[in-house]
Amino acid sequence: MIRAVVWGENVHEKRSQVVADLYPEGMHTCIAKALQDGGIQATTATLQDPEHGLPQARLDDTDVLIWWGHAAHGDVDNAVVERVADAVYGGMGLILLHSAHFSKIFKKLMGTPCNLTWREAGERERLWVTSRHHPIVRGLPDHFELEQEEMYGEPFGVPEPLETVFVSWFQGGEVFRSGLTYRRGAGNIFYFRPGHETYPTYYDGNVQKVLVNAVHWAANPEQRIVDVHAAPNIDVAQALEPITARGPKLHAEGEDGFR
């Protein structure tokens, strides 16, 4: 069974009565329950937990991490960000939701500002499937609608994705690449746009299906790469074909290089 951890910032649920009424157990719990209903072993972690709920041992046992953040990106400890990034490089899947486009982990893995235009007006969002046979859209219609959502608009300051799975149209006329896949190291990454906290997006059946499908897609069945930063100095004697060292050398045999 795939092991997923749903990480939630868990700030708006405590500060906003609207969000607390909509998600009384937190958005992270709502998402985790949807994954559990889809046959995935899903647990939760929050910003307020020790080490944000993501100690090394837990990441080692996580196949896919789902990340939702908005108001407190800067409060995420940099050591945890590096730990999560290394897990992705090693083969852990990562799914980033809605305002996680500005999270430290997404910006680190993308290497770009990840900026966009936005408007909070509760307008209709229509998501169109742009990659019909992609595993993430299995069981979905060609398009589906969310009656109320926050608008995100292009240009979206991210690298060119491997695949664009969804594009969104909004009632005000903007469009947005709302489902993007990436690979970093051995890790599969999916960014999915919907999920503004004041609207019931994570109760929507189509959104839940996307999340379940995305977890299955992002999970890597291969053994995790352990030392993702290893850069060994290979001795001449270890070369697959016989060679003789020639010319001056900066490093002694087996010596670490500069970083």
pLDDT value for 237: 87
Q: Please give the CATH topology (third level) of the domain spanning 3-218.
A: Rossmann fold (3.40.50)
Three-state helix/strand/coil letters over 50-98 = HHHHCCHHHHHCCCEEEEECCCCHHHCCHHHHHHHHHHHHHCCEEEEEH
Beta carbons of 22 and 198 less than 8 angstroms apart = yes
pLDDT value for 257: 84
pLDDT value for 256: 87
pLDDT value for 249: 85
* CA neighbor of 255 nearest in space, from 238, 235, 237: 235
CB count, 10 Å around CB of 118?
15
* CA neighbor of 175 nearest in space, from 146, 143, 141, 152: 152
Q: What is the pTM of this model?
A: 0.95
Question: Crossing angle of helices 205-218/27-37, nearest 10°?
Answer: 70
Q: Is 149 helix (H, G, I), strand (E, B) or coil?
A: strand
pLDDT value for 259: 82
Beta carbons of 233 and 253 less than 8 angstroms apart = yes
Mean pLDDT by 10 residues, the chain (259 residues): 97 96 98 98 98 98 98 98 98 98 98 98 98 97 98 98 98 98 98 98 98 98 95 90 89 83
pLDDT value for 107: 98
